[in-house]
Structure 1
Amino acid sequence: MKKFVSKTMSLLLVAVMALSLAACGSKTNDSSQAAPESTGSASGESTAATQPAGNSGEKIVNVGVTDTLGSLNPLLLNGGEINKYATALMFLPLMELDADLNFQGMLADSITTEDNRNFVVHIDEAATWSDGTPITAEDVAYTALRLTSPVINNTAMMYYVFEGVGDDGFVEAGADSVDGIQVIDDKTIQFTTKDSMSLTTFENSYARYLLTLPKHVIEKYTEEELSTAEWFNQPDVVSGPFYVTEFDVDHYISYKANPDYWKGAPKIDKLNIKIVDGSQLYAGLQSGEIDITQHTMSVIPPEDYASVEALDNVDVVYGSPVTNQSMFIQTANVPDVRVRQAMLYAINRDQLLSELLDGHGEVVDGFLSSASPFYDDSITHVTYDPEKAKALLEEAGWDGSQTLRFYVNSGDSTFVNAATVMVAQWAAVGIKAEVQTVDFATLMSVAGTRDYDILAVQYTYAPVDPYPDVAWLLGGEGSWTGYGDDEVNKALTSTQLTSDVDEIKGLYSIVDKKVQEDVPMISAYIISAQGAVNKRLTGAVPSVYGFFNDVQNWDIAQ
């Protein structure tokens, strides 16, 4: 199990980077680039009639996001959210989380296990490619084989957990099968892991990210060709509700409906993902140039929340609290637990939440938010108590001579302000700290070298499967925090041996209580981000998870 944790780092860093950059809304946009067709009008009354010439009557929906696209090739998928969701509009995952954090069948209709090692996936009997060919277990197995190819060299997908795959995540060059991925029949495939894994970990880390390709189409390409084949830029055979028509990785992705979608033809004709700066989302929603935003791919700056709420043409939905503003403490540099406890007591986190996020979020201790089915609401968060902090420092013999280096993402203006407040609150109890603002790439480099005292980053711990992230971050000397604890390790490993929600909840409760006690990480606050949707759009609701699950039902009110 430790091998699984250590190997997750490449994917985790990509995911943290994608989510943090999106949350900062730091994308810069070159407005000189061609943009997709718009449904909006200058007056803000966005209607289907306001189309460019030649498109009258078409139903077009524009999604505003603040992240940039990497690739639409499922074999090159990484942890970036926009890459996954934009590609999954054409090639469905096996499963996806819905808005209520339940796993919803997409290409598969069930995944079961009896021993937490053999996972049986059944493909929906109705699933067909857009050319009418049935989608089979052979398609899934062929895609998985290509994902384990050393020629394609996708290191982010972590397939080393399966039998027959090397510890580097690859099979032998030219292999025609994977021992741990076996076709049972036309609609059934079995994945076998080397070590025990919970069903939720398999579903969240693998079923959500395996975007199956049509074997009968792509088998004509050599492995060398698959990474660069032009077919992936405009595929003519898909399993999902849309075909991509054109895209610019920095500005937009345009789609047309797949009328033969096996779950039902989309009600809208075209979908555009418009990539903009976070500061442009309000104006786009106001004018109708943007119809809908999503909480993690298209984060509206908190300073614009009130303005968006005031728009007459828009409904606002605040998302589940999932993005944790985490502050990691390098325990080797701050070894006395009493000093770390004092740092926690000295911060008025409720004030930060109220004044910087207008209360849209929550304060917890540990990693899990109230969005997680494993959240223990009996753990009361440590409240602001500067006198308690002073007493702990005195007990620890803290002389105040050390200046703690506090690394913060310069692109996150909200937390830069929060860090300034915290430094003042620490100073009031006798802890000197100096904020060092750096760009995100530098921040991740500092995290990797562990040459810091405190490092802050927005981090989304998957509510249904926090194990890979938490196990890495508390993984001892090699982790960001340098913190390790036998009781914590035992509890985390045990989460992979059961599927009982109450049992898993109890195990994560042990972890969060130890984090509250030993303070290798402080959760400054957890963000409940704002999403918005134009009132003319029906069947579409902004949600942290499951946003595009039923996009075929989106429609435009007449």
Structure 2
Amino acid sequence: MKMNRGIAKRALGLGLAIVMALSVTACGKKQSGEPGAAGGQQEQSGGGQQAQAAGGEKIVNVGVTDTLNTLNPLLMDGGEINKYATGLMFLPLMELDSDLQFEGMLADSITAEDEHNFLVHIDESATWSDGKPVTADDVIYTALRLTSPVIGNPAMMYYVFVGVGDEGYTEKGADHVEGITKVDDKTVRFTTKDPMSLVTFQNSYARYLMTLPKHVIEGIAEEDLKSNEWFNHPDVVSGPFRVTDFDKDHYISYEANKDYWKGAPKIDRLNIKIVEGSQLYAGLKSGEIDVTQNTMSAIPMEDYESIEALENVTPVYGDPVTNQSVFIQTANVPDPRVRQAMLCAIDRNRILDQLMKGHGEVIDGFLSSASPYFDASITPVSYDPERAKALLAEAGWDSGKTLKFYVNSGDSTFINAASVIAAQWAEVGIKADIQTVDFATLMATATSRDYDVLAVQYTYAPVDPYTDINWLINMEDSWTSYVNADVNDALSKVQVTNDTAETAKLYSIVDKKVQEDVPMFSAYVISSLGAVNKRLTGVQPSVYGFFNHVEQWDVK
């Protein structure tokens, strides 16, 4: 279980990365005229340049609402903007496309020799911008740095590989990793301590390893790799762009890598503009922002209709992947009949229609219709207050008891939804006291399990939700304190199978059991809005795969 728990803790961070983008706007408050403020003055870098500048350069501005942490692949965490902003320079091995299929980026294939050994083959055409080939030595060098205690990155969780310690690090000064070895100049073998499915390896590791050029930076002392200036202005990259300037709270500016081995980008410059969610509409309307992505760009719900009405913009709704999950502390609410009553007392379709304008769906369990493992035969529990009252009476519910209901103070939409839920619970005899807290406090409360009900937006990776589900409802120290033998058996089989149909059956067992026992329920699943200026071609906002073919973006 050590491996499961560790991967799950990392996945918890990955799942919540999108939560933070959707629920919390950028940290730095920007006034009109400051760099990165939509509608303000044009800044010197990364700012108010329109898609087609006066000098003839083709420039595209992407608006996002989360601040940058790092552009150093060795300090990578699960944050979306960090991953994608860095991946424009240093390609991941693989990435998900908009259809949730794994697409080769630096690698052209990843295969499983068995449930412990995975072969990564680097594309034969892959080269660095200085013309040198990308090799297995580059991948192994990067992996060795990611396992270094000197670098001390806790997010990558490489302890799953043979030869890496339980905390995810090798010995200081180690010159090899036993479980990450060279087969030939273009092939690397990764060997895990415990069984792992190919999908988990691809999703949790191949998508997050951003290979660095060994021949360029191997001379830098390891203790200097975390802060070396080279990472702020790298002169050798494998991706379509290289950064020229950035302010982690306001913008990231890139120039095209004309020697990109997949083809020179059609645009000359790309800027990621970090703004408040409330500024996205004005930026899209004026043209200072050309495109927003569905999860990194948190458009306020109240601006959806206004953006849909813009003549210069095409609105694009993403797949429903972000779940407004409501967790019940089963130690405090031990009777499943009470938890069932809590679910059927809520009119979830009304909440979806009125607060989300129908942009999403109602499901039971964890998996939305975006997942290849979704079981459409599981009919969501319908609104039935009379059944709720009967279940509570059968369970001998104490109507004087008050449930503490914790909600993220940064999520104004769900604060309204929580008020509706509490009112509907009150109608059947369940009292709830809504506690609005900041995101950090919400996570601390979840970890401590000092709550009765707790709600948070959570993105369960559609192709590989195992780690999140296992962490949340299948461990003694999970958020919900819920453990079930059928769920445990199903998840243990999910961990090692590569058969899609079998995996779907196993997740169906989990979702049906969750629907029956209700350790958590989904209030709704969000289909978030993205938008793209009609001047652009080859650009399609999507939850996954947004930057996969950025070299094909163009300006009419």
Is the 1:61–1:291 contact (alpha carbons within 8 Å) kept by the matching residues of 2? yes
Q: In structure 1, what is the equivalent of residue 40 of structure 2?
A: none
SS of match in other structure, 1:285: helix
Q: In structure 2, what is the equivalent of residue 410 of structure 1?
A: 409
Q: Does 2:242 align with 1:243?
A: yes
**TM-score of the superposed pair, with normalisation by structure 1:** 0.96
Q: CA RMSD for the aligned pairs? A: 1.3
Cα distance in 1, alignment partners of residues 198 and 355 from structure 2:
38
- Quote the offset at 1:13 in angstroms: 4.3
Cα distance in 2, alignment partners of residues 151 and 47 from structure 1:
42
Q: In structure 2, what is the equivalent of residue 125 of structure 1?
A: 124
1:483 is matched by which residue type in structure 2? Answer: Y
Q: In structure 2, what is the equivalent of residue 145 of structure 1?
A: 144
Residue-by-residue CA offset, 1:417-466 (whole Å, 9 max, x unaligned): 00000000000000000100001111111111110000100000000000
Cα distance in 2, alignment partners of residues 104 and 67 from structure 1:
26
2:35 is matched by which residue type in structure 1? Answer: A
Is the 1:461–1:469 contact (alpha carbons within 8 Å) kept by the matching residues of 2? yes
Q: In structure 2, what is the equivalent of residue 26 of structure 1?
A: 25
1:48 is matched by which residue type in structure 2? Answer: Q
SS of match in other structure, 2:263: coil
Q: In structure 1, what is the equivalent of residue 62 of structure 2?
A: 63
Q: In structure 2, what is the equivalent of residue 421 of structure 1?
A: 420
**CA 1:39–1:533: 2 relative to 1, 3 Å:** farther
SS of match in other structure, 1:473: helix
Cα distance in 2, alignment partners of residues 285 and 543 from structure 1:
17
Q: In structure 2, what is the equivalent of residue 451 of structure 1?
A: 450
Q: Does 2:385 align with 1:386?
A: yes
Residue-by-residue CA offset, 1:115-150 (whole Å, 9 max, x unaligned): 121000100000000000100011000100000001
Q: In structure 2, what is the equivalent of residue 111 of structure 1?
A: 110
Is the 1:406–1:452 contact (alpha carbons within 8 Å) kept by the matching residues of 2? yes
For structure 2, the 5+ residue unaligned runs are: 37-42
Q: 1:4-403 maps to which residues of 2 (within 5 A)? A: 4-8=3-7, 10-27=9-26, 28-31=28-31, 33-35=34-36, 48-49=52-53, 51=54, 56-403=55-402
Bigger mean CA deviation after superposition, 12-21 or 469-478: 12-21
Bigger mean CA deviation after superposition, 265-274 or 26-35: 26-35
2:351 is matched by which residue type in structure 1? Answer: L
Q: Does 2:464 align with 1:483?
A: no
Is the 1:39–1:60 contact (alpha carbons within 8 Å) kept by the matching residues of 2? no
SS of match in other structure, 1:334: coil
Q: 1:431-510 maps to which residues of 2 (within 5 A)? A: 431-510=430-509
Cα distance in 2, alignment partners of residues 294 and 332 from structure 1:
39
2:325 is matched by which residue type in structure 1? Answer: S
Is the 2:327–2:453 contact (alpha carbons within 8 Å) kept by the matching residues of 1? yes
Bigger mean CA deviation after superposition, 129-138 or 32-41: 32-41
Is the 1:38–1:289 contact (alpha carbons within 8 Å) kept by the matching residues of 2? no
**CA 1:13–1:501: 2 relative to 1, 3 Å:** closer
Sequence identity, in percent?
A: 69
Is the 2:46–2:251 contact (alpha carbons within 8 Å) kept by the matching residues of 1? no
- Quote the offset at 1:223 in angstroms: 1.2
User: Number of residues paired by the alignment?
Assistant: 547
- Quote the offset at 1:24 in angstroms: 2.0
Residue-by-residue CA offset, 1:13-44 (whole Å, 9 max, x unaligned): 43344322211252253235434557979xxx
Residue-by-residue CA offset, 1:353-412 (whole Å, 9 max, x unaligned): 100111010000000000000101010000100000000000000121110000000110
Is the 1:64–1:275 contact (alpha carbons within 8 Å) kept by the matching residues of 2? yes
Q: In structure 2, what is the equivalent of residue 516 of structure 1?
A: 515
Is the 1:317–1:531 contact (alpha carbons within 8 Å) kept by the matching residues of 2? yes
SS of match in other structure, 2:404: strand
Is the 2:46–2:273 contact (alpha carbons within 8 Å) kept by the matching residues of 1? no
1:407 is matched by which residue type in structure 2? Answer: Y
1:303 is matched by which residue type in structure 2? Answer: E
SS of match in other structure, 2:495: helix
SS of match in other structure, 2:444: helix
Cα distance in 2, alignment partners of residues 47 and 85 from structure 1:
21
- Quote the offset at 1:95 in angstroms: 0.2
- Quote the offset at 1:217 in angstroms: 1.0
Residue-by-residue CA offset, 1:322-357 (whole Å, 9 max, x unaligned): 000000101000001000000000000000110011
Cα distance in 1, alignment partners of residues 363 and 16 from structure 2:
23
Cα distance in 1, alignment partners of residues 397 and 162 from structure 2:
52
Cα distance in 1, alignment partners of residues 8 and 507 from structure 2:
21
For structure 1, the 5+ residue unaligned runs are: none
Cα distance in 2, alignment partners of residues 449 and 22 from structure 1:
24
Cα distance in 1, alignment partners of residues 187 and 522 from structure 2:
42
Cα distance in 1, alignment partners of residues 529 and 58 from structure 2:
25
2:125 is matched by which residue type in structure 1? Answer: A
Is the 2:326–2:454 contact (alpha carbons within 8 Å) kept by the matching residues of 1? yes
SS of match in other structure, 1:156: coil
Cα distance in 1, alignment partners of residues 391 and 483 from structure 2:
22
**TM-score of the superposed pair, with normalisation by structure 2:** 0.97
**CA 1:503–1:344: 2 relative to 1, 3 Å:** same
Q: In structure 1, what is the equivalent of residue 39 of structure 2?
A: none
Residue-by-residue CA offset, 1:166-212 (whole Å, 9 max, x unaligned): 11101111100000001000000100001111111000000000000
1:320 is matched by which residue type in structure 2? Answer: D
Cα distance in 1, alignment partners of residues 136 and 505 from structure 2:
37
